[in-house]
Amino acid sequence: MARSILHMLTPLKHMSPFDVNMAVDAGFETIATYTDVTLPDVTSLVQDSIFSRSPQDGARTTIFIGGKNAEDALDMMDRAKKALVPPFANHIVADPAGSFTTGAAMVAEVTRALKSKFGTDLKGKRIVIFGGAGVVAYVAAVIGALEGAKTVLVGHDGEERVSKIAFTMKWRFGIDVGAVDGSTGDARRAAIAEADVILSAGPAGVPILSATDLESAPKLLVASDVNAVPPAGIAGIDVNAKDVALPTGKGIGIGALAVGNVKYQTQSRLFRQILAADEPLCLDFRDAYKVAVEVAG
């Protein structure tokens, strides 16, 4: 059998050591990294990889796309798919900054909590997402909307930027995602007034919602915070939290380590899924969510 080769592409100066370690531990035999990759570079890199091996070895060759921007990663995935020339094809998978699997894990943990603690699911729930301009928020908003939730991005610097992001989601996925201002305390409290679920994917060590703020969310069932650096993004949710009571007594909280455990297993399983496949796969955060739901239980 041909050796398994993973070609890792990133538009950044460095490839993530985290992702390299995950790939090695999953079992890839050979790994090559490519940095400062631009969108036009993708076609030639992919075609160099497919034409240097026989078509039957396409399932032993993988293109991994990293970076730190959701739209850029999705554009690179699209360009990589268009570069394939059947019967020559490789696996293609994207996980920029590990955020595709993190966002999938975050929503999967919320899905688990809603089912196990409240006997319900995401459909019809209002999910309010802080850190709305980031990749984790992007992933959570799209997955939530695809699962039938009413997702809303909150912009720490106002509504304009997150409105543009929501527009690209509609163009790419055909979903409706809301966008609201979160630049002041009053605005943040107004944003969560009708929330069933609150997700915090803001900068590490930056408090976003206090215990007093949470009193403005009387319908809140589940809140999750992926911030692993004190202080917590959402009051009452430390890194170890898993289904802990929130300070108001309304709803439960899920912390960074609970999400991170699901994220780690999800990324590992995706790599192993690729290594075990007989035909080339193309995997993004929607595929990661399916795996994360299984991991979360």
Token couple for 138: 């992007």
**Rounded mean pLDDT, 19-29:** 96
pLDDT exceeds 80 at position 276? yes
Q: Which of 233, 265, 21 is nearest to 129 (CA)?
A: 233
**Residue 76: its pLDDT value, please?**
98
The Cα 257–Cα 254 span in angstroms is: 8
Token couple for 284: 């993004």
Residue bearing tokens 């543009």: 164
Q: What percent of the chain has pLDDT over 90?
A: 95
Please report which confidence band the pLDDT of residue 10 belongs to, taking 50, 70 and 90 as the band edges: very high
Token couple for 108: 């999967």
**Rounded mean pLDDT, 55-82:** 96
**Rounded mean pLDDT, 150-174:** 96
pLDDT exceeds 80 at position 35? yes
Residues for the chain: how many in total? 297
Over residues 195-219, the pLDDT tens digits come to 999 999 988 889 999 999 999 999 9
Helix/strand/coil (H, E, C) string of the chain? CCCCEEEEECCCCCCCHHHHHHHHHHCCCEEEEECCCCHHHHHHHHHHHHHCCCHHHHHHEEEEECCCCHHHHHHHHHHHHHHCECCECCEEEECHHHHHHHHHHHHHHHHHHHHHHHCCCCCCCEEEEECCCCHHHHHHHHHHHHCCCEEEEEECCCCHHHHHHHHHHHHHHCCCCEEEECCCHHHHHHHCCCCCEEEECCCCCCCCECHHHHCCCCCCCEEEECCCCCCCCECCCCCCCEEEECCCCCCEEECHHHHHHHHHHHHHHHHHHHHHCCCCCEECHHHHHHHHHHHHC
**Residue 250: its pLDDT value, please?**
82
**Residue 277: its pLDDT value, please?**
96
**Residue 1: its pLDDT value, please?**
77
pLDDT exceeds 80 at position 161? yes
The Cα 31–Cα 6 span in angstroms is: 5
Q: What percent of the chain has pLDDT over 70?
A: 100
**Residue 205: its pLDDT value, please?**
87
**Residue 217: its pLDDT value, please?**
96
Cβ-Cβ contacts under 8 Å for 27 (sequence gap 6 or more): 4, 271, 272, 275
Q: Please state, in angstroms and as integers, the Cα–Cα distance from residue 44 to each residue in 38, 47, 50, 163, following that order.
A: 11, 5, 10, 34
Average pLDDT of the chain is: 96
57 CA to centre of own chain? 29
**Residue 261: its pLDDT value, please?**
97
Over residues 83-98, the pLDDT tens digits come to 999 999 999 999 999 9
**Residue 57: its pLDDT value, please?**
94
Please report which confidence band the pLDDT of residue 249 belongs to, taking 50, 70 and 90 as the band edges: confident
